[in-house]
Amino acid sequence: MSEFVIQTNNLTKRFGDFTAVDQLTFAIQAGEVVGYLGPNGSGKTTTMRMLLGLILPTEGTATVLGYDIRQDSDAIRAEVGYMSQKFSLYHDLTVNENLHFYAGVYGINNENQIQACLDRVGLEKQKNILVSNLSTGWKQRLALATAIVHHPRLLFLDEPTSGVDPTARRAFWDLIYELVAEGITALVTTHYMDEAEYCGRVGIMREGKLLALDTPSNLKISTLPGKAYDLRAQPILDTLQVLEQSQHVLRSGLVGDHLRVILSSEVKPETIVEELKNHSVNNAEIEQVEPTLEDVFLSLAAQ
Amino acid sequence: MINSRLRSLIRKEFIQIRRDPRTLVLIIVIPIMQLFLLGYAATNDVRNIPLAVLDQDHSSAAKALLDAYRAADYFRITYAASSEKELRDLVDRGVVRAGLIIPPNYGDKVNGDGNTTIAFVLDGSDPTIASTSLSAAQLIGQQYSTKILAERMQRHGQTLVMEAPIEVRPQVWYNPDLVSAYFMIPGVIGMILYALTSILTATAIVRERERGTIEQLIVTPILPIELVIGKIIPYIILAIVNTLEVLIIGAWYFNVPVRGDLMLILLLSGLFLLSSLGIGIFASTTANTQQEAMLIVWMSLLPSIFLSGFFFPIEAMPKVLQWISYIFPLRYYLVIIRALLLKGVGVSALRDQIIALTIFGVVIMSAAAKRFRKRLD
């Protein structure tokens, strides 16, 4: 048994001329929560499907829980939980019936184990409701319950929070951390930048390539070419135009009611304030801030 | 053999069937409707053929001849034409299927000792009706002329002694009155079961694919053969209910005899259903959409109905079609169900058909399980 829960080597998937996943090499250790961040179509789902043996890789190798993904996908599937993007639930079945179905298919008939699973995701009160009448947030919890009812060692969550409101998203991540505390390993894809911050490590994917994989703070240090600042000035659009023309500014953009600017480390923020004054923007205030993963993502995407 | 995975799948399928009462009602009602429709339509019996008469004689002898035609229920005299042209016109327009022309001197010839000819005109565009009415008309004519002959000889003080050197005495077994419903209804039963069950399961797996639940199902440890069997078992039970329905209505309403052992009928119907449900499941594993699955089933349905001996006897088909007919399970079931209902035979007489259906069922189910790979691409 390898010490890595997931290990891939040049994993590649092509659909005709289109390369969905391009030479992916990474490793995940037990107990980690790894987030995969990337826009739609960047290869996150394809990667997950290959690891589950749902589709065969074109090239490269990978092991999951020590099993080869080409040969031993049955062994892998018995020990992992998977929550697919569409929440694969039967809409004409109740919460309880869905859970019992998946439990039975995994050979679990222990009623206590099933009820405990229902309790854990907080669906005890909803257990007799038809899935078609559930809100997206509840469906998401039920989908998670069906993915963990057999106590898997590894959890694949494919965009588990898409279409779910922020409170439910937060609660969902709390659930994931409870599971991780009990020893489960999780690979989660998302396109929410703020969610990626919750992950132990974040992989950033674009056009099938894994651009970086590290802890959020390391990513901010290693991938950002400079420092991040919040800049407030009026009129905001004119300011942005000046910044975009400036040779000191690596990147600038609107964030809510203010601007986010990345300056190379040698440039002092005062230099920019001066420069703005020369362009008759006199009220600029600048303040160094903690960079976000969005900054990381955008600067990686610009390369 | 029934493990936890299979049991869960079967339970789930039953719940889903129950949650869709409209479909369930259709499954129960459709066979009854079809049996009534086809039971009446699918018949080769020809009765009440509309007949026009051109009586140019108007003698009592002519009236007696017409009464003979009236007495047999093959014909219904609907028109008395006044000219040959009118008679032709009636046949041309399809108002009548046949015409009878009695010549002017008919009465004199018959009452004397002469010979006469009556003309029978018929529309040959529908060969079934034409051949039946032709033989019926000839039969009535012959019987009537024999009667006249006997009367004449009596008049001459002789008794008619006619002894044919060879007598063919036909003896019809199983369906002595040659009622075509007895032949057709078992065929209709087979056809209804085949069409309904294969269409039902055609959508069973592809529906999961369309709804996206297949992805989750594939990552579970369920085996392809378990999925195929689990999807089929609930429908086998429904289909057995359908079998009973059509048998009861066939026996009670259409008076089709049920001479064979009922348990054997149900058992062998179940064997046949493995094949028809298997075809549906196979289509379901091959198709990407429910529509595609339906089309595949339809494509197999029409040739099975036409080549299985439902409408046309297999023996009368060209050799190549006869060989092709061997691949259709309905062919074997029609032999089984007709034999069980009409002849009341036992298992030994149906051994070949039972073997053929068993092979077909096992092959189609394994093929479906093999087609259903646990992958998405």
Strand order in the sheet with B75-80: B75-80, B49-55, B98-102, B119-122
User: Would the pLDDT of B172 be above 80?
Assistant: no
pLDDT tens per residue, range B294-351 = 999 998 888 888 898 887 788 888 899 999 999 999 999 999 998 998 888 888 889 9
Helix axes B351-371, B224-252, angle to 10 degrees: 140
Q: Is B374 within 8 Å of A146 when comparing Cβ atoms?
A: no
**Which residues of B, range 356-375, sit inside 8 Å of A by Cβ?**
374-375
User: Would the pLDDT of B167 be above 70?
Assistant: no
CA distance B6 to A293: 46
**pLDDT-above-70 percentage for chain B:** 92
pLDDT of residue A284: 82
Which band of pLDDT confidence, cut at 50, 70 and 90, is reported for residue A60?
very high
Q: Comparing B358 with A281, which gets the higher pLDDT?
A: B358
The residues facing A81 across adjacent strands are A155
Interface predicted TM-score (ipTM) over 0.90: no
**pLDDT-above-90 percentage for chain A:** 48
Give the closest-approach CA distance of A54 to chain B in angstroms: 4
- For residue A91, the chain B residues in CB contact (below 8 A) are 211
Choose the closest CB to A102 out of B16, B215, B220. Answer: B220
Per the CB < 8 A criterion, the answer to whether B17 and B44 are in contact is: no
Per the CB < 8 A criterion, the answer to whether A259 and A297 are in contact is: no
Choose the closest CB to A101 out of B8, B218, B221. Answer: B8
Mean pLDDT of B370-377: 77
Give the closest-approach CA distance of B212 to chain A in angstroms: 6
Give the best residue of B3, B205, B216 to mutate against chain A (max A CB count within 10 A).
B216
Question: According to DSSP H, which parts of B93-223 are helical?
Answer: 106-111, 127-155, 180-202, 204-211, 213-219
pLDDT of residue A276: 83
- For residue A103, the chain B residues in CB contact (below 8 A) are 8
The tokens of A96 are what? 């309880």
pLDDT tens per residue, range A189-221 = 988 888 888 899 999 898 899 988 999 888 888
A132 touches chain B (CB under 8 A): no
- For residue A93, the chain B residues in CB contact (below 8 A) are 12, 15-16, 19
Report CA Rg, chain B: 29
The tokens of B314 are what? 């297999």
**pLDDT-above-70 percentage for chain A:** 99
B8 touches chain A (CB under 8 A): yes
Of the candidates A54, A53, A41, which has an alpha carbon nearest to the alpha carbon of residue A208? A41
What domains lie within chain A, and their CATH numbers? Answer: 4-220 (3.40.50.300), 225-301 (3.30.70.100)
Per the CB < 8 A criterion, the answer to whether A46 and A85 are in contact is: no
Choose the closest CB to A82 out of B4, B11, B216. Answer: B216
**Which residues of A, range 79-98, sit inside 8 Å of B by Cβ?**
80, 82, 84, 86, 88-93, 97
- For residue A90, the chain B residues in CB contact (below 8 A) are 12, 16, 213
Choose the closest CB to A97 out of B15, B213, B221. Answer: B15
User: Would the pLDDT of A1 be above 50?
Assistant: no
A268 touches chain B (CB under 8 A): no
User: Would the pLDDT of B163 be above 60?
Assistant: no
Q: Is B15 within 8 Å of A53 when comparing Cβ atoms?
A: no
A49 touches chain B (CB under 8 A): yes
CA distance B313 to B316: 6
B25 touches chain A (CB under 8 A): no
Give the closest-approach CA distance of A119 to chain B in angstroms: 21
Among chain A residues, the shortest Cα distance to B18 is held by A92
A102 touches chain B (CB under 8 A): yes
Q: Is A93 within 8 Å of B215 when comparing Cβ atoms?
A: no
B21 touches chain A (CB under 8 A): no
The tokens of B313 are what? 């006897």
Q: Is B8 within 8 Å of A77 when comparing Cβ atoms?
A: no
- For residue B219, the chain A residues in CB contact (below 8 A) are 52, 54, 77, 80, 82
Give the closest-approach CA distance of A88 to chain B in angstroms: 4
Give the closest-approach CA distance of A284 to chain B in angstroms: 53
- For residue B12, the chain A residues in CB contact (below 8 A) are 90, 93, 97, 101
B20 touches chain A (CB under 8 A): yes
Please state the domain extents for chain B.
49-173, 179-376
- Check the CA dihedral A139-A144-A147-A151 and report its sign: negative
Q: Is B219 within 8 Å of A82 when comparing Cβ atoms?
A: yes
User: Would the pLDDT of B115 be above 50?
Assistant: yes
Three-class SS state of A248: coil
Burial of B137 (0-12, 13-18, 19+ CB in 10 A): buried
- For residue A104, the chain B residues in CB contact (below 8 A) are 4-5, 7-9, 11
**Segment among A227-241, A284-298, B141-155, B168-182 with least mean pLDDT:** B168-182
pLDDT tens per residue, range A72-120 = 988 999 999 999 888 789 999 999 999 999 999 999 989 999 999 999 9
pLDDT tens per residue, range A222-280 = 888 788 888 888 888 888 888 888 888 888 888 888 888 888 888 888 888 888 888 88
The tokens of B135 are what? 């033989």
Among chain B residues, the shortest Cα distance to A152 is held by B220
Mean pLDDT of B113-126: 82
Q: Which fold has domain B49-173?
A: abc type-2 transporter like fold (3.40.1710)
Per the CB < 8 A criterion, the answer to whether B221 and B157 are in contact is: no
Q: Is B375 within 8 Å of A56 when comparing Cβ atoms?
A: yes
